[in-house]
A and B are shown apart, each in its own frame.
Chain A
Amino acid sequence: MNRGMVLARGSLLSLLIVSGLSGCSSVQPWEKQNLAKPEMTFEGDRLDTGYTEHIYSSKEASSGGAGVGGGGCGCN
Protein backbone atom coordinates (compact mmCIF):
# COMPACT_ATOMS: atom_id res chain seq x y z
CA MET A 1 0.00 0.00 0.00
CA ASN A 2 1.51 3.34 -0.96
CA ARG A 3 1.96 6.25 1.43
CA GLY A 4 -0.93 8.25 -0.07
CA MET A 5 -3.39 5.43 0.55
CA VAL A 6 -2.16 5.03 4.13
CA LEU A 7 -2.63 8.77 4.75
CA ALA A 8 -6.06 8.87 3.14
CA ARG A 9 -7.26 5.89 5.17
CA GLY A 10 -5.73 7.30 8.37
CA SER A 11 -7.46 10.64 7.83
CA LEU A 12 -10.81 9.06 7.08
CA LEU A 13 -10.42 6.91 10.18
CA SER A 14 -9.77 10.03 12.28
CA LEU A 15 -12.89 11.66 10.81
CA LEU A 16 -14.91 8.60 11.75
CA ILE A 17 -13.43 8.59 15.26
CA VAL A 18 -14.30 12.26 15.76
CA SER A 19 -17.83 11.81 14.48
CA GLY A 20 -18.19 8.68 16.61
CA LEU A 21 -17.32 10.45 19.85
CA SER A 22 -21.02 10.83 20.59
CA GLY A 23 -20.68 8.36 23.44
CA CYS A 24 -18.25 10.66 25.24
CA SER A 25 -20.81 13.24 26.24
CA SER A 26 -24.12 14.73 25.30
CA VAL A 27 -23.95 18.47 25.85
CA GLN A 28 -27.37 20.06 26.20
CA PRO A 29 -28.31 23.40 24.56
CA TRP A 30 -28.35 25.23 27.91
CA GLU A 31 -24.80 24.03 28.60
CA LYS A 32 -23.33 25.68 25.50
CA GLN A 33 -22.76 29.25 26.66
CA ASN A 34 -18.97 28.81 26.54
CA LEU A 35 -19.10 27.03 23.18
CA ALA A 36 -21.07 29.98 21.77
CA LYS A 37 -18.27 32.48 22.47
CA PRO A 38 -16.70 33.80 19.24
CA GLU A 39 -13.23 32.59 20.26
CA MET A 40 -14.57 29.02 20.59
CA THR A 41 -15.63 28.87 16.94
CA PHE A 42 -13.19 27.94 14.19
CA GLU A 43 -13.99 30.88 11.90
CA GLY A 44 -12.12 33.69 13.67
CA ASP A 45 -11.39 37.15 12.27
CA ARG A 46 -11.90 36.73 8.53
CA LEU A 47 -9.59 39.54 7.37
CA ASP A 48 -6.86 38.53 9.84
CA THR A 49 -7.11 34.90 8.70
CA GLY A 50 -7.01 36.01 5.06
CA TYR A 51 -3.81 38.03 5.53
CA THR A 52 -2.11 35.38 7.68
CA GLU A 53 -2.90 32.44 5.39
CA HIS A 54 -1.80 34.47 2.36
CA ILE A 55 1.53 35.36 3.97
CA TYR A 56 2.39 31.82 4.99
CA SER A 57 1.16 30.13 1.81
CA SER A 58 3.31 32.50 -0.28
CA LYS A 59 6.49 31.71 1.73
CA GLU A 60 5.97 28.00 2.46
CA ALA A 61 5.09 25.01 0.28
CA SER A 62 2.14 23.88 2.44
CA SER A 63 -1.24 25.53 2.16
CA GLY A 64 -4.92 25.00 2.88
CA GLY A 65 -6.63 22.71 5.34
CA ALA A 66 -9.19 25.00 6.92
CA GLY A 67 -11.48 25.29 3.90
CA VAL A 68 -11.77 25.41 0.14
CA GLY A 69 -12.47 28.35 -2.16
CA GLY A 70 -10.78 31.73 -2.63
CA GLY A 71 -8.58 33.19 -5.31
CA GLY A 72 -5.17 32.03 -6.48
CA CYS A 73 -2.12 34.26 -6.43
CA GLY A 74 1.02 34.78 -8.51
CA CYS A 75 3.06 34.82 -5.32
CA ASN A 76 3.00 31.03 -5.03
Chain B
Amino acid sequence: MDTVPVKISNRKSRVLGALLASAAMLLPSVKNALADAAPEQGIVSMKYLNYHDSQTGDTDLTAGMSRNRMTVNALSFMGMVPIAGKWSVAGTFIEDSVTGASPAYHGSGFPANTSSGASGDLRHAGDLNVTRYFSRGTLTLGTSYSQETDYKSLGCSLNGTLSTENNNTTFSLGAAWNRDTIDLSRPNVVKSKKSDTSGKKRVLSGLLGVTRVISQNDIIQTTVTLTDGDGYYSDPYKYPDVRPDKRRMFTFMARWNHHFDGPNGTARFSYRYYSDTFGIRGHTFDAEYVQPLPNGWEITPLVRYYSQSAADFYVPVGDAEFADPAHYTLPPAGAEHYTEDQRLSAFGAFSYGIKVRKELGRSWLADVKYEHSEQRNNRGINGLGDPGIPTFNMSAIQVGLSRKF
Protein backbone atom coordinates (compact mmCIF):
# COMPACT_ATOMS: atom_id res chain seq x y z
CA MET B 1 0.00 0.00 0.00
CA ASP B 2 2.82 2.40 0.73
CA THR B 3 4.63 1.78 -2.53
CA VAL B 4 2.35 3.81 -4.78
CA PRO B 5 2.94 7.24 -3.17
CA VAL B 6 6.69 6.56 -3.13
CA LYS B 7 6.68 5.80 -6.85
CA ILE B 8 4.68 8.95 -7.53
CA SER B 9 7.08 10.95 -5.37
CA ASN B 10 10.10 9.57 -7.25
CA ARG B 11 8.51 10.37 -10.60
CA LYS B 12 7.72 13.93 -9.45
CA SER B 13 11.28 14.29 -8.27
CA ARG B 14 12.66 13.08 -11.63
CA VAL B 15 10.34 15.43 -13.54
CA LEU B 16 11.33 18.36 -11.31
CA GLY B 17 15.01 17.49 -11.74
CA ALA B 18 14.64 17.32 -15.52
CA LEU B 19 12.83 20.67 -15.59
CA LEU B 20 15.51 22.33 -13.47
CA ALA B 21 18.26 20.80 -15.61
CA SER B 22 16.50 22.08 -18.75
CA ALA B 23 16.16 25.53 -17.19
CA ALA B 24 19.87 25.52 -16.36
CA MET B 25 20.74 24.59 -19.96
CA LEU B 26 18.62 27.46 -21.26
CA LEU B 27 20.57 30.03 -19.26
CA PRO B 28 23.07 31.56 -21.68
CA SER B 29 26.36 31.04 -19.86
CA VAL B 30 25.41 29.49 -16.61
CA LYS B 31 28.21 26.97 -16.77
CA ASN B 32 30.57 29.89 -17.19
CA ALA B 33 29.98 31.09 -13.61
CA LEU B 34 33.60 30.44 -12.75
CA ALA B 35 34.82 31.28 -16.22
CA ASP B 36 36.44 27.94 -17.01
CA ALA B 37 34.11 26.87 -19.84
CA ALA B 38 35.13 27.18 -23.48
CA PRO B 39 33.91 30.46 -25.01
CA GLU B 40 31.10 30.15 -27.53
CA GLN B 41 31.82 33.43 -29.33
CA GLY B 42 34.94 35.17 -30.56
CA ILE B 43 35.67 38.82 -29.90
CA VAL B 44 37.75 41.61 -31.42
CA SER B 45 38.37 44.88 -29.54
CA MET B 46 40.34 48.05 -29.90
CA LYS B 47 40.98 50.76 -27.35
CA TYR B 48 42.60 54.19 -27.43
CA LEU B 49 44.27 55.70 -24.36
CA ASN B 50 45.27 59.27 -23.66
CA TYR B 51 47.27 59.62 -20.44
CA HIS B 52 48.73 62.75 -18.91
CA ASP B 53 50.53 63.43 -15.62
CA SER B 54 51.82 66.52 -13.84
CA GLN B 55 53.22 67.66 -10.51
CA THR B 56 51.95 70.50 -8.32
CA GLY B 57 54.08 72.43 -5.86
CA ASP B 58 51.23 73.29 -3.50
CA THR B 59 53.12 73.55 -0.18
CA ASP B 60 55.76 75.98 1.11
CA LEU B 61 58.47 73.33 0.64
CA THR B 62 57.46 72.48 -2.94
CA ALA B 63 56.52 75.95 -4.16
CA GLY B 64 57.60 76.61 -7.74
CA MET B 65 57.74 72.91 -8.68
CA SER B 66 54.48 72.79 -10.66
CA ARG B 67 54.91 71.47 -14.20
CA ASN B 68 53.60 69.00 -16.74
CA ARG B 69 55.47 65.71 -16.98
CA MET B 70 54.47 62.99 -19.44
CA THR B 71 51.81 62.37 -22.05
CA VAL B 72 51.12 58.92 -23.49
CA ASN B 73 48.94 58.08 -26.46
CA ALA B 74 48.30 54.38 -26.97
CA LEU B 75 46.28 52.14 -29.23
CA SER B 76 45.67 48.50 -28.42
CA PHE B 77 43.92 45.59 -30.13
CA MET B 78 42.66 42.30 -28.75
CA GLY B 79 41.29 39.23 -30.47
CA MET B 80 40.01 35.93 -29.13
CA VAL B 81 38.90 33.00 -31.27
CA PRO B 82 37.25 29.81 -29.94
CA ILE B 83 38.36 26.66 -31.72
CA ALA B 84 36.39 23.41 -31.86
CA GLY B 85 34.68 24.04 -28.53
CA LYS B 86 37.78 22.97 -26.59
CA TRP B 87 40.39 25.57 -27.42
CA SER B 88 40.75 29.33 -27.63
CA VAL B 89 43.52 31.56 -28.94
CA ALA B 90 43.74 35.12 -27.63
CA GLY B 91 46.22 37.87 -28.39
CA THR B 92 46.76 41.56 -27.71
CA PHE B 93 48.93 44.15 -29.39
CA ILE B 94 49.69 47.65 -28.16
CA GLU B 95 51.60 50.63 -29.51
CA ASP B 96 52.19 53.63 -27.29
CA SER B 97 54.12 56.84 -27.75
CA VAL B 98 55.54 58.87 -24.88
CA THR B 99 56.39 62.56 -24.78
CA GLY B 100 57.60 64.67 -21.88
CA ALA B 101 59.94 63.74 -19.04
CA SER B 102 60.11 62.48 -15.48
CA PRO B 103 62.42 64.00 -12.82
CA ALA B 104 65.93 62.63 -12.26
CA TYR B 105 65.56 62.97 -8.47
CA HIS B 106 62.60 63.77 -6.18
CA GLY B 107 60.55 66.39 -8.07
CA SER B 108 63.52 68.04 -9.84
CA GLY B 109 66.34 67.45 -12.31
CA PHE B 110 64.25 67.38 -15.48
CA PRO B 111 66.36 66.91 -18.61
CA ALA B 112 66.58 69.81 -21.05
CA ASN B 113 65.74 67.33 -23.81
CA THR B 114 62.18 66.48 -22.81
CA SER B 115 61.93 63.24 -24.77
CA SER B 116 64.16 61.40 -22.30
CA GLY B 117 63.28 59.80 -19.00
CA ALA B 118 62.84 56.23 -17.92
CA SER B 119 60.61 55.42 -20.86
CA GLY B 120 61.43 55.27 -24.53
CA ASP B 121 59.57 57.30 -27.14
CA LEU B 122 57.75 54.38 -28.71
CA ARG B 123 56.78 51.02 -27.25
CA HIS B 124 55.34 47.95 -28.96
CA ALA B 125 54.07 45.04 -26.91
CA GLY B 126 52.04 41.94 -27.53
CA ASP B 127 51.03 38.64 -26.04
CA LEU B 128 49.52 35.41 -27.27
CA ASN B 129 47.68 32.85 -25.14
CA VAL B 130 46.45 29.40 -26.11
CA THR B 131 43.93 27.80 -23.77
CA ARG B 132 42.70 24.20 -23.66
CA TYR B 133 39.38 23.68 -21.87
CA PHE B 134 38.62 20.46 -20.00
CA SER B 135 35.40 19.40 -18.28
CA ARG B 136 36.62 20.76 -14.94
CA GLY B 137 39.55 22.98 -15.73
CA THR B 138 41.74 24.92 -18.12
CA LEU B 139 45.37 25.05 -19.14
CA THR B 140 46.78 28.24 -20.71
CA LEU B 141 50.18 28.66 -22.31
CA GLY B 142 51.18 32.27 -22.89
CA THR B 143 54.01 34.26 -24.36
CA SER B 144 54.67 38.01 -24.29
CA TYR B 145 56.98 40.51 -25.95
CA SER B 146 57.65 44.18 -25.34
CA GLN B 147 60.12 46.48 -27.06
CA GLU B 148 61.11 50.12 -26.57
CA THR B 149 64.08 52.05 -27.91
CA ASP B 150 66.04 51.17 -24.76
CA TYR B 151 64.22 48.16 -23.33
CA LYS B 152 63.26 44.67 -24.43
CA SER B 153 61.26 42.08 -22.52
CA LEU B 154 60.45 38.47 -23.36
CA GLY B 155 58.22 36.25 -21.28
CA CYS B 156 56.24 33.04 -21.10
CA SER B 157 53.69 31.70 -18.67
CA LEU B 158 51.68 28.61 -17.82
CA ASN B 159 48.39 28.91 -15.92
CA GLY B 160 45.93 26.22 -14.90
CA THR B 161 42.57 26.00 -13.14
CA LEU B 162 40.75 23.06 -11.61
CA SER B 163 37.13 23.19 -10.40
CA THR B 164 35.30 20.95 -7.98
CA GLU B 165 32.54 18.72 -9.36
CA ASN B 166 29.77 21.19 -8.44
CA ASN B 167 31.79 24.02 -10.04
CA ASN B 168 31.50 26.15 -6.90
CA THR B 169 35.23 26.19 -6.13
CA THR B 170 38.09 26.73 -8.57
CA PHE B 171 41.77 26.40 -7.72
CA SER B 172 44.32 28.34 -9.80
CA LEU B 173 48.01 27.72 -10.24
CA GLY B 174 50.32 29.79 -12.42
CA ALA B 175 53.99 30.38 -13.20
CA ALA B 176 55.70 32.99 -15.37
CA TRP B 177 59.22 33.76 -16.54
CA ASN B 178 60.51 37.06 -17.93
CA ARG B 179 63.84 38.15 -19.34
CA ASP B 180 64.41 41.91 -19.67
CA THR B 181 67.29 43.71 -21.37
CA ILE B 182 68.11 47.40 -20.77
CA ASP B 183 70.28 49.34 -23.23
CA LEU B 184 72.77 51.39 -21.15
CA SER B 185 74.59 52.96 -24.10
CA ARG B 186 71.94 55.52 -25.03
CA PRO B 187 72.85 59.24 -24.91
CA ASN B 188 70.52 60.15 -22.03
CA VAL B 189 71.76 57.42 -19.66
CA VAL B 190 73.38 58.90 -16.55
CA LYS B 191 77.20 59.07 -16.97
CA SER B 192 77.99 56.80 -14.03
CA LYS B 193 75.68 54.10 -15.44
CA LYS B 194 76.72 54.27 -19.09
CA SER B 195 77.95 50.99 -20.44
CA ASP B 196 78.25 49.14 -23.74
CA THR B 197 77.04 46.03 -21.92
CA SER B 198 73.28 45.88 -21.53
CA GLY B 199 71.66 45.43 -18.14
CA LYS B 200 69.80 42.14 -17.73
CA LYS B 201 66.99 41.12 -15.43
CA ARG B 202 65.34 37.74 -14.88
CA VAL B 203 61.97 37.58 -13.13
CA LEU B 204 60.16 34.40 -11.97
CA SER B 205 56.60 34.45 -10.59
CA GLY B 206 54.31 31.87 -9.06
CA LEU B 207 50.62 32.20 -8.22
CA LEU B 208 48.20 30.17 -6.12
CA GLY B 209 44.50 31.11 -5.97
CA VAL B 210 41.06 29.97 -4.91
CA THR B 211 37.75 31.24 -6.33
CA ARG B 212 34.64 30.32 -4.41
CA VAL B 213 30.90 30.77 -5.01
CA ILE B 214 29.45 31.84 -1.66
CA SER B 215 25.82 32.33 -2.62
CA GLN B 216 23.64 32.94 -5.67
CA ASN B 217 24.84 36.58 -5.55
CA ASP B 218 28.36 36.37 -4.10
CA ILE B 219 31.68 35.15 -5.38
CA ILE B 220 35.09 35.66 -3.77
CA GLN B 221 38.67 35.06 -4.85
CA THR B 222 41.97 35.08 -3.00
CA THR B 223 45.40 34.81 -4.59
CA VAL B 224 48.96 34.69 -3.35
CA THR B 225 51.78 35.65 -5.72
CA LEU B 226 55.50 35.29 -5.12
CA THR B 227 57.95 36.94 -7.50
CA ASP B 228 61.72 36.63 -7.52
CA GLY B 229 63.72 39.14 -9.55
CA ASP B 230 67.45 39.07 -10.19
CA GLY B 231 69.40 41.62 -12.23
CA TYR B 232 69.40 45.31 -13.14
CA TYR B 233 66.82 47.17 -11.01
CA SER B 234 68.38 50.68 -11.04
CA ASP B 235 66.91 53.41 -13.25
CA PRO B 236 69.44 54.38 -15.97
CA TYR B 237 68.05 57.94 -16.13
CA LYS B 238 67.93 58.82 -12.44
CA TYR B 239 70.62 59.97 -10.02
CA PRO B 240 71.64 59.40 -7.30
CA ASP B 241 70.22 55.93 -7.77
CA VAL B 242 71.80 52.54 -7.09
CA ARG B 243 69.34 49.78 -6.21
CA PRO B 244 69.85 46.18 -5.06
CA ASP B 245 70.05 43.66 -7.89
CA LYS B 246 67.65 41.28 -6.18
CA ARG B 247 64.01 41.98 -5.46
CA ARG B 248 61.64 39.42 -3.96
CA MET B 249 57.97 40.44 -3.99
CA PHE B 250 54.95 39.05 -2.17
CA THR B 251 51.34 39.89 -3.04
CA PHE B 252 48.11 38.83 -1.40
CA MET B 253 44.87 39.80 -3.12
CA ALA B 254 41.25 39.28 -2.08
CA ARG B 255 38.29 40.13 -4.34
CA TRP B 256 34.56 39.99 -3.72
CA ASN B 257 31.74 40.57 -6.22
CA HIS B 258 28.17 41.00 -5.00
CA HIS B 259 25.06 41.21 -7.15
CA PHE B 260 22.05 43.26 -5.99
CA ASP B 261 18.76 41.77 -7.21
CA GLY B 262 16.74 44.98 -6.79
CA PRO B 263 18.66 47.37 -9.07
CA ASN B 264 20.28 44.43 -10.96
CA GLY B 265 23.68 46.02 -10.22
CA THR B 266 27.01 44.53 -9.14
CA ALA B 267 29.46 45.83 -6.55
CA ARG B 268 33.09 44.76 -6.98
CA PHE B 269 35.58 45.11 -4.13
CA SER B 270 39.26 44.21 -3.91
CA TYR B 271 42.12 44.53 -1.47
CA ARG B 272 45.80 43.91 -2.21
CA TYR B 273 48.69 43.68 0.20
CA TYR B 274 52.19 44.04 -1.26
CA SER B 275 55.62 43.72 0.30
CA ASP B 276 59.11 43.36 -1.13
CA THR B 277 62.73 43.08 -0.10
CA PHE B 278 63.27 46.78 -0.92
CA GLY B 279 61.33 47.34 2.32
CA ILE B 280 58.16 48.60 0.63
CA ARG B 281 54.73 47.70 2.03
CA GLY B 282 51.63 48.65 0.06
CA HIS B 283 47.86 48.51 0.54
CA THR B 284 45.41 48.89 -2.36
CA PHE B 285 41.63 49.15 -1.96
CA ASP B 286 39.36 49.17 -5.02
CA ALA B 287 35.58 49.51 -5.23
CA GLU B 288 33.32 49.89 -8.23
CA TYR B 289 29.63 49.50 -8.92
CA VAL B 290 28.30 48.28 -12.28
CA GLN B 291 24.75 49.47 -13.00
CA PRO B 292 22.98 48.35 -16.19
CA LEU B 293 20.50 50.94 -17.53
CA PRO B 294 17.72 50.76 -20.12
CA ASN B 295 18.49 50.65 -23.86
CA GLY B 296 21.82 48.84 -23.46
CA TRP B 297 23.58 51.48 -21.38
CA GLU B 298 25.78 50.63 -18.40
CA ILE B 299 27.52 52.97 -15.96
CA THR B 300 30.36 52.11 -13.56
CA PRO B 301 31.64 54.63 -11.00
CA LEU B 302 34.85 53.58 -9.26
CA VAL B 303 37.13 54.65 -6.42
CA ARG B 304 40.61 53.48 -5.39
CA TYR B 305 42.88 54.15 -2.44
CA TYR B 306 46.57 53.23 -2.38
CA SER B 307 49.28 53.67 0.24
CA GLN B 308 52.91 52.61 0.31
CA SER B 309 55.88 52.93 2.65
CA ALA B 310 59.29 54.08 1.40
CA ALA B 311 62.07 51.75 0.28
CA ASP B 312 64.70 51.15 2.98
CA PHE B 313 67.28 52.97 0.85
CA TYR B 314 65.13 55.98 -0.12
CA VAL B 315 66.93 59.30 0.53
CA PRO B 316 64.55 62.20 1.36
CA VAL B 317 65.06 65.78 0.18
CA GLY B 318 67.89 67.39 2.20
CA ASP B 319 68.47 71.00 3.31
CA ALA B 320 70.67 71.91 0.34
CA GLU B 321 68.04 70.72 -2.14
CA PHE B 322 65.30 72.56 -0.24
CA ALA B 323 67.38 75.72 -0.63
CA ASP B 324 68.03 75.09 -4.32
CA PRO B 325 66.25 72.22 -6.15
CA ALA B 326 69.00 72.28 -8.79
CA HIS B 327 71.32 70.60 -6.24
CA TYR B 328 70.36 67.02 -5.55
CA THR B 329 70.71 65.54 -2.07
CA LEU B 330 73.89 63.52 -1.53
CA PRO B 331 73.27 59.93 -0.38
CA PRO B 332 74.60 58.96 3.08
CA ALA B 333 78.37 58.35 3.11
CA GLY B 334 79.19 54.69 2.53
CA ALA B 335 75.63 53.74 1.55
CA GLU B 336 75.59 50.74 -0.80
CA HIS B 337 72.10 51.38 -2.14
CA TYR B 338 70.21 54.66 -2.49
CA THR B 339 67.49 56.25 -4.56
CA GLU B 340 65.66 59.56 -4.77
CA ASP B 341 62.91 58.21 -7.04
CA GLN B 342 59.52 59.54 -5.97
CA ARG B 343 57.96 56.16 -6.78
CA LEU B 344 60.00 54.56 -3.99
CA SER B 345 59.01 57.20 -1.39
CA ALA B 346 56.06 56.90 1.03
CA PHE B 347 52.77 58.35 -0.16
CA GLY B 348 49.04 57.80 -0.40
CA ALA B 349 46.89 58.16 -3.50
CA PHE B 350 43.18 58.56 -4.04
CA SER B 351 41.62 57.80 -7.44
CA TYR B 352 38.16 58.14 -8.85
CA GLY B 353 36.67 57.45 -12.23
CA ILE B 354 33.68 56.48 -14.28
CA LYS B 355 33.10 54.11 -17.17
CA VAL B 356 30.12 54.21 -19.53
CA ARG B 357 29.28 51.37 -21.93
CA LYS B 358 26.66 51.11 -24.63
CA GLU B 359 25.54 48.03 -26.52
CA LEU B 360 25.14 48.81 -30.21
CA GLY B 361 22.88 46.09 -31.54
CA ARG B 362 23.56 42.47 -30.63
CA SER B 363 27.25 42.34 -31.49
CA TRP B 364 28.87 45.74 -30.94
CA LEU B 365 29.89 47.40 -27.69
CA ALA B 366 31.35 50.89 -27.19
CA ASP B 367 32.86 52.26 -23.98
CA VAL B 368 34.44 55.41 -22.57
CA LYS B 369 36.34 55.61 -19.28
CA TYR B 370 37.86 58.52 -17.35
CA GLU B 371 40.10 58.05 -14.31
CA HIS B 372 42.00 60.57 -12.20
CA SER B 373 44.49 59.92 -9.42
CA GLU B 374 46.37 62.17 -7.00
CA GLN B 375 49.40 61.11 -4.93
CA ARG B 376 50.31 63.07 -1.79
CA ASN B 377 53.18 62.57 0.64
CA ASN B 378 50.85 63.09 3.64
CA ARG B 379 48.00 60.86 2.51
CA GLY B 380 49.46 57.42 3.28
CA ILE B 381 48.56 55.00 6.07
CA ASN B 382 52.16 53.75 6.16
CA GLY B 383 53.39 56.93 7.87
CA LEU B 384 54.29 60.40 6.66
CA GLY B 385 56.14 60.69 3.39
CA ASP B 386 58.85 63.05 2.20
CA PRO B 387 57.57 66.68 2.50
CA GLY B 388 59.91 67.70 -0.32
CA ILE B 389 57.98 65.63 -2.90
CA PRO B 390 55.37 67.62 -4.86
CA THR B 391 51.81 66.39 -5.33
CA PHE B 392 51.53 64.11 -8.37
CA ASN B 393 48.42 63.99 -10.58
CA MET B 394 47.52 61.68 -13.41
CA SER B 395 44.47 61.44 -15.68
CA ALA B 396 43.54 58.87 -18.30
CA ILE B 397 40.79 58.64 -20.88
CA GLN B 398 40.02 55.38 -22.69
CA VAL B 399 37.73 54.95 -25.67
CA GLY B 400 36.97 51.42 -26.85
CA LEU B 401 34.96 49.44 -29.36
CA SER B 402 34.45 45.69 -29.52
CA ARG B 403 32.51 43.19 -31.58
CA LYS B 404 31.45 39.61 -30.87
CA PHE B 405 31.22 37.12 -33.72
Contact = CB atoms under 8 A, between A and B. Distances in A.
Interface string A24-46: 11111111111111011111011
Nearest to B175: A68
Contacts of A70: 127, 144, 155, 157, 176
A35 B166 CA distance: 14
Contacts of B400: 45, 47-48
Instruction: State the main secondary structure of chain B at its contact with A.
Output: strand
A11 to B, nearest CB: 4
Contacts of B188: none
Contact of A7 (B94, B180, B252, B259): B252
Given A14-B252, A29-B167, A71-B146, A51 B76 contact: yes
A1 interface: no
B274 interface: yes
B30 A66 contact: no
Interface string B359-395: 0000000010101010100000000000000001010
A4 B273 CA distance: 12
Contacts of A45: 367, 400
A71 B127 contact: yes
B47 A47 contact: yes
Contacts of A56: 306, 373
B133 interface: no
Contact of B222 (A15, A26, A30, A61): A15
Contacts, number: 261
Given A14-B252, A51-B74, A72 B203 contact: yes
A62 B282 contact: yes
B29 interface: yes
Interface stretch (B105-113, B115-123, B327-335): B115-123
B82 interface: no
A60 B268 contact: no
B177 to A, nearest CB: 9
A51 to B, nearest CB: 5
Contacts of B74: 51
Contacts of B280: 61-62
B31 A65 contact: no
B398 A51 contact: yes
Contact of A68 (B94, B174, B182): B174
A36 B33 contact: yes
A34 B76 CA distance: 30
Contacts of A55: 51, 394, 396
A72 B166 CA distance: 38
Contacts of A74: 118-120, 123, 148, 150-151, 182
A48 B94 CA distance: 12
Interface string B246-288: 0001111111010101000010100011111010101010000
A32 B33 contact: yes
Given A69-B127, A69-B157, A4 B219 contact: no
Interface stretch (B7-15, B57-65, B208-216, B315-323): B208-216
Interface string B127-140: 10100000000000
B171 interface: yes
Contacts of A27: 166, 168, 213, 215-216
A45 B398 CA distance: 12
Given A51-B398, A61-B278, A69-B155, A25 B214 contact: yes
Contact of A43 (B35, B227, B275, B282): B35
Given A35-B216, A60-B308, 20 more contacts: A11-B222, A15-B210, A29-B24, A30-B27, A34-B216, A40-B257, A41-B32, A48-B398, A48-B400, A51-B74, A52-B371, A62-B308, A68-B157, A68-B175, A69-B127, A69-B142, A71-B155, A73-B123, A73-B146, A73-B151
Interface of B: 20-21, 23-24, 27-35, 45-47, 49, 51, 53, 74, 76, 78, 90, 92, 94, 118-120, 123, 125-127, 129, 142, 144-146, 148, 150-151, 153-157, 159, 164, 166-169, 171, 174-176, 178, 180, 182, 201, 203, 205-217, 219-225, 227, 249-255, 257, 259, 261, 266, 268, 272-276, 278, 280, 282, 284, 290, 306, 308, 311, 343-344, 349, 355, 367, 369, 371, 373, 375, 392, 394, 396, 398, 400
